[in-house]
Amino acid sequence: MKGDGLEPRLAELLRPVRLVALDVDGTLTDGAVTVSAGGEELRFSVVDGFGIKELQRAGIVVAWITGRSSPATVARAEGLGVTELHLGQLHKTAALRSIQERLGIAPRETAAMGDDLPDLSLRPCVGFLAAPANARPEVLSRADFVTHAPGGAGAVRELAEMILRSQGRWAAIVASYGA
């Protein structure tokens, strides 16, 4: 069933999605940076990673566009097979538009998630903007959907499931794991 129990307005916005653009700090992580003698450490959620892998298996491109450059981010992106990794992009519009043009993906076929003011620059370039529960108020008020989970703790997985449900793919994914 298309929509798979989603609110009809959300399902309609998510059904055409072919590209998901994600912020890193505060969205894929909790926003904390631990710096030790061995270098910088970030905590990424395996739950979010699973959602990213399922999006990729469904043929949806996942892009990470982040304002910082971090070896930990590069390592996690490589581990998940995220090839659209754009570091040092405080103003994220140019990076997203470049991806869309290169891949022939329209804004209405693009969803994004971010938590802070720089992520608002993505709003005019996407058909759907999501925010983690702990995003800044300015982002929350402009988002099409706010997840129940905070950044770094399953927010991206919520978005991934919503997209896959809206496209009628979620039941087959669940079934593929024997359920």
Region 66-85: what's the mean pLDDT? 93
pLDDT at 170: 94
Instruction: Count CB-CB contacts under 10 A for residue 8.
Output: 9
Q: Tokens for 121?
A: 């620059």
Region 44-68: what's the mean pLDDT? 96
Calculate helix-pair angle for 46-57, 155-166, nearest 10 degrees.
30
**Which domains does the chain carry?**
8-176 (3.40.50.1000)
Report the SS3 class of residue 111: strand
d(C-alpha 179, C-alpha 86), whole Å: 37
Determine phi and psi for 63, rounding to 5 degrees: -120, 140
Indicate whether 110 pLDDT > 50. yes
Confidence bin at 57 (pLDDT 50/70/90)? very high
> Could you tell me the CA-to-CA distances from 150 to 1, 14, 15, 19, 100 in Å, in that order?
29, 21, 24, 22, 27
pTM: 0.93
Region 15-32: what's the mean pLDDT? 92
Q: Tokens for 9?
A: 């307005």
